[in-house]
């Protein structure tokens, strides 16, 4: 296998869906393995950490890392891969913005450990056993990675060169990134490899949106039979389209669900959740005399942080429960 | 006693003019408020509010025209809705909602600027500093 460049894949705090997203590119993967060697991919191939450690600095032309960073082991691994790689691609929402596991940042580390190991109804832990980072038994020392105070997006831990957005990234975005890498026509470093436009601008339902979009009600998706051919916001369903980057192929919209925001904010937007909050405030059609009605309506959004920041809490500027 | 820092976004047409009136009338009020003039309270993006907290403000005060008086017809209606949504979000992300305050103050109400700034400063003094980011809580 001489001359072909080497790439690596790794996962951190993620669900495994991003690993599937790599395979989802279908037979294109055969073209990829013709162009590059895969030198590290724990989920699919038998390479160990030592194999990476033995490689010289900058050995991999690129590493694709999915998942946020929550443990000391994940931090170690991504720092190792950063040293051994020329380019780092944050692969998928969790790595790009923190993702759904990042919602854990609404709780402190202690709250989480207490609930999981002690307080949850199905847990019986009368001996008060909590995970330790090191433990000795019969002269054998055992080690566990440290569970950090919060979930970090990848670029909060190591410098990241490119972002492949999505939960999980759709095949054409993944293929586009791989082709750009192989052909050597990647854009400026720091780019998100998806068009810098709001989802609404490419949404097939955009033409059903009235010129002045105003709503008098908010509904939760399980409460209504949504009309799949009509802009979800006009139906009172909270769609993250106005504050979310496009490029996903409107997968959710076409499946009859409002956008949940997995592609993250557009360039130059500081905070996706606040951007959506602002947009929502503009279209809620209530005058100052109807405050109580507005408050009633907002009850249909009982968890604003979880809704507005479903994928982007760790990368947001609200700093969640880092304040304690 | 703790001296809180307050960032105030005052609209050009009403509240800022009122603050000006308070100034030329030589009214004395708490020096804890740092005023930022904006053209309309509707221009106060939630990002500005959160960024102020992030950069060390203990409280954020938004001042706009009374409903019906907005120079831009209904900019302040949007402010009000944005404010209500933010108030709902703040406790989830560890900021007491009382640290954000919205007041309608018209150009002639210099006295109200003085009263609101003093009141808000007193409240924040009692609440103490906004909790800051900590590692491994």
Interval B61-65 mean pLDDT: 97
**Distance between CA atoms of residues A73 and A142, nearest Å:** 14
* Token representation of residue A98: 């923190």
pLDDT at B126 over 90: yes
Please give the pLDDT value at position B137.
Answer: 38
Please give the pLDDT value at position B94.
Answer: 87
Instruction: Please name each of the domains of chain A with its CATH number.
Output: 6-100+149-183 (3.40.50.700), 108-148 (no CATH), 199-322 (no CATH)
Please give the pLDDT value at position B1.
Answer: 83
Residue tagged 């443990």 (tokens): A71
Interval B33-61 mean pLDDT: 95
Instruction: Please name each of the domains of chain B with its CATH number.
Output: 6-127 (3.40.50)
Please give the pLDDT value at position B136.
Answer: 45
User: Which of chain A's residues have a Cβ under 8 Å away from the Cβ of B136?
Assistant: 109, 148-149
The string of pLDDT tens digits covering residues B100-109 is: 999 999 999 9
User: Which of chain A's residues have a Cβ under 8 Å away from the Cβ of B130?
Assistant: 323
**Distance between CA atoms of residues A150 and B91, nearest Å:** 18
User: Which of chain B's residues have a Cβ under 8 Å away from the Cβ of A274?
Assistant: 45-47, 50
**Distance between CA atoms of residues B35 and B8, nearest Å:** 5
**Which of B85, B94, B137 lies at the smallest CB-CB distance from A280?**
B85
Is B89's CB within 8 Å of A284's CB?
Answer: no
Is A317's CB within 8 Å of B54's CB?
Answer: yes
3-class state of residue A56 by DSSP: coil
Opening angle at CA A225, ends A224 and A229, nearest 5 = 125
Please give the pLDDT value at position A49.
Answer: 93
DSSP state of B88: H
Ranges of residues in chain A with a pLDDT under 70 are 1-2, 320-324
Contact at 8 Å (CB) between A118 and A87? no
Percent of chain B with pLDDT over 70: 96
pLDDT band at B135 (very low <50, low <70, confident <90, very high): low
pTM of the predicted protein model = 0.91
Interface residues of chain B, partner chain A, Cβ below 8 Å: 45-47, 50-51, 54, 67, 76-78, 80-82, 84-86, 88-89, 92-95, 130-137
CA-based nearest residue to A266, from A200, A318, A313, A198: A198
pLDDT band at B32 (very low <50, low <70, confident <90, very high): very high
């Amino acid at each position: 296998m001489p001359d072909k460049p080497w790439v690596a894949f790794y996962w951190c705090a993620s669900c495994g869906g991003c690993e599937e997203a790599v395979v989802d590119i279908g037979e294109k993967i055969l073209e990829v393995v013709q162009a590059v060697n895969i030198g590290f991919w724990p989920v699919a191939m038998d390479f160990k950490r030592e194999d990476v450690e033995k490689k010289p600095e900058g050995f991999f032309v690129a590493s694709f890392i999915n998942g946020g960073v929550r443990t000391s082991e994940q931090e170690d691994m991504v720092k190792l891969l950063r040293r051994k790689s020329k380019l780092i691609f944050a692969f998928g929402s969790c790595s790009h913005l923190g993702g759904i596991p990042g919602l854990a940042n609404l709780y402190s580390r202690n709250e989480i450990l207490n609930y999981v190991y002690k307080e949850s109804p199905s847990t019986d832990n009368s001996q008060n056993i909590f995970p330790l980072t090191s433990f000795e038994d019969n002269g054998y020392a055992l080690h566990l990675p440290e569970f950090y105070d919060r979930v970090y997006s990848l670029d909060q831990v190591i410098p990241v060169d490119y972002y492949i957005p999505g939960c999980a990234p759709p095949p054409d975005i993944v293929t586009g990134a791989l082709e750009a890498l192989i052909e050597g026509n990647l854009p400026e470093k720091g780019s998100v490899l998806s068009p810098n436009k709001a989802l609404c601008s490419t949404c097939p339902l955009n033409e059903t949106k009235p010129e002045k979009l105003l709503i008098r009600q908010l509904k939760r998706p399980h409460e209504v039979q949504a009309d799949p051919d009509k802009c979800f916001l006009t139906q009172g369903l909270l769609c993250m389209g106005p504050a979310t980057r496009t490029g996903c192929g409107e997968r959710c919209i076409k499946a009859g669900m409002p956008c949940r925001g997995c592609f993250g904010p557009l360039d130059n937007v500081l905070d996706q959740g606040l951007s959506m909050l602002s947009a929502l405030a503009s279209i809620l059609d209530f005058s100052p005399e109807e405050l109580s009605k507005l408050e009633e309506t907002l009850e249909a959004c009982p968890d604003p942080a979880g809704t507005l920041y479903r994928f982007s809490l760790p990368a947001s500027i609200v700093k969640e429960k880092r304040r304690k | 006693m703790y001296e809180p820092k307050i960032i105030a976004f005052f609209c050009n047409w009403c509240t800022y003019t009122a603050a000006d009136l308070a100034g030329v009338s030589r009214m004395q009020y708490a020096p804890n408020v740092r005023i930022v003039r904006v053209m309309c309270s509707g221009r106060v993006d939630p990002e500005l509010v959160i960024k102020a907290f992030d950069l060390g403000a203990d409280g954020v005060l938004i001042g706009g025209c009374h409903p019906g008086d907005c120079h831009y017809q209904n900019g302040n209606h949007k402010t009000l809705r944005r404010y209500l949504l933010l108030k709902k979000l703040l406790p989830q992300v560890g900021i007491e909602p009382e640290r954000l305050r919205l007041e309608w103050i018209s150009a002639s109400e210099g006295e109200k600027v003085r009263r609101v700034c003093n009141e808000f400063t007193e409240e924040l003094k009692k609440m103490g500093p906004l909790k800051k980011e900590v590692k491994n809580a």
